[in-house]
Structure 1
Amino acid sequence: MLSETIEKALNTQIHLEANASMKYLAMATWAEVIGYNGVAGFFYNQSEEERVHMLKLVKFVNERGGKASIPSLDAPKDTFKDLHELFTVFLESEEQVTESINHLVFQTLEEKNYTVHNFLQWYVAEQAEEESLARTILDKLKIIGNDKSGTYLFDKDIEGIVAQTEINAKNE
């Protein structure tokens, strides 16, 4: 059973995950249109991951006797100055999701709702991975700077990350 407070917080998280999915879809579109196919593939995958995270929450809320609230979505930013800005927005988005998850975990401990707390541990681990990935990518972009050849190779590196992610997903 979910308290009203926890149910509301989980529904807020559903909204964040849905918005992140649409934000990453807009980022993929921006990258694809200007020719960064590796980056586009990366963000298409990120968009799908966030949608799956949202669905997992929706099902959990409903299975625990609550009612998942399907949110209307905010219009995502769809224009970026460059890849550095794009990935900075990605990191900021992941940090926002992490902050929300951490707040939700704290609420579950306050209410001694260990079932929800346990469920959220997967999200805690996932967010640590996502933030680490975003920081690693931003570090690479800082090294590259404005070097066009470096940017081209970076896009190819991201294609490799996407391919490895797809292989890992098939093996799970």
Structure 2
Amino acid sequence: MKDIVRQKIGINVDIMDMLNEQISKEAHSSAAYLAMASWCDHNGLVGSADYLYKQSSEEREHMMKIFRFINDNGGTAYSPEVTNVLHDFNSLQEIFETALDQEISITKSINNIVAKCRKVQDFASEQFLLWFVNEQMEEENKFRRILEIFDIMGTDGIALKLIDERIKHGE
């Protein structure tokens, strides 16, 4: 579908398509964090719920950043449809394991787009995406640190409440 309009945009057409796919992934992440936050709220883990509500909002901001970049460069960003969001979890630890897996998947996707940018010499898109590369390193690190707390403290009784409090305070 490389019509004349798509050929006159400021970013590579293939990169634009990959960025639109990334918009969907960011929207799915936002919805997934929202579902995780709801599970935490329902189970009295309000510190973790607050943390995950913020994560959901942050993922939406990432989606919008990409959305605007595409449109600002003459492309067409597409509003994503979000489906297949997991709502049931067995534990708080499972939520954070799922979140880490999700972030690793997003990192791989961003890295694939950056690699394609280099291949097609779309330097503006590559430069734009470098912020996301750094952001993803931070995101993965946060979730790894949270999972280490589970390893240290366990998940029974008061340990779960203490973990929830640590997550709330960003420790």
2: distance between equivalents of 1:135 and 1:74?
26
User: 2:106 maps to which residue?
Assistant: 97
Does 1:3 pair with 2:12?
Answer: yes
TM-score, scaled to structure 2 = 0.92
User: 2:7 maps to which residue?
Assistant: none
Structure 2 SS opposite 1:104: helix
Segment drifting more, 44-53 vs 75-84: 75-84
Q: Of 35, 57, 63, which residue of structure 1 is paired with 2:66?
A: 57
Name the aligned partner's letter for residue 104 of structure 2: E
Deviation at 1:36, TM superposition (A): 0.1
2: distance between equivalents of 1:49 and 1:146?
27
User: 1:136 maps to which residue?
Assistant: 145
2: distance between equivalents of 1:146 and 1:21?
26
Deviation at 1:129, TM superposition (A): 0.1
Does 1:46 pair with 2:55?
Answer: yes
In structure 1, stretches of 5+ residues that fail to align are 165-172
User: 2:93 maps to which residue?
Assistant: 84
Does 1:112 pair with 2:121?
Answer: yes
Aligned residues: 162
Name the aligned partner's letter for residue 120 of structure 2: E
- Structure with bigger helix share is 1
Note the alpha carbon deviations across 1:79-101, whole angstroms, 9 max, x for none.
11111111010000000100000
2: distance between equivalents of 1:127 and 1:94?
7
Note the alpha carbon deviations across 1:123-162, whole angstroms, 9 max, x for none.
000000000001110111122223311111111111112x
Does 1:156 pair with 2:156?
Answer: no
Name the aligned partner's letter for residue 114 of structure 2: V
In structure 2, stretches of 5+ residues that fail to align are 1-9
TM-score, scaled to structure 1 = 0.92
User: 1:18 maps to which residue?
Assistant: 27
2: distance between equivalents of 1:87 and 1:55?
24
Structure 2 SS opposite 1:32: helix
2: distance between equivalents of 1:99 and 1:159?
28
Note the alpha carbon deviations across 1:52-95, whole angstroms, 9 max, x for none.
00000000000111100111101310111111111010000000
Contact 2:117 2:125 in 1 (8 A): yes
Deviation at 1:39, TM superposition (A): 0.3
2: distance between equivalents of 1:69 and 1:27?
25
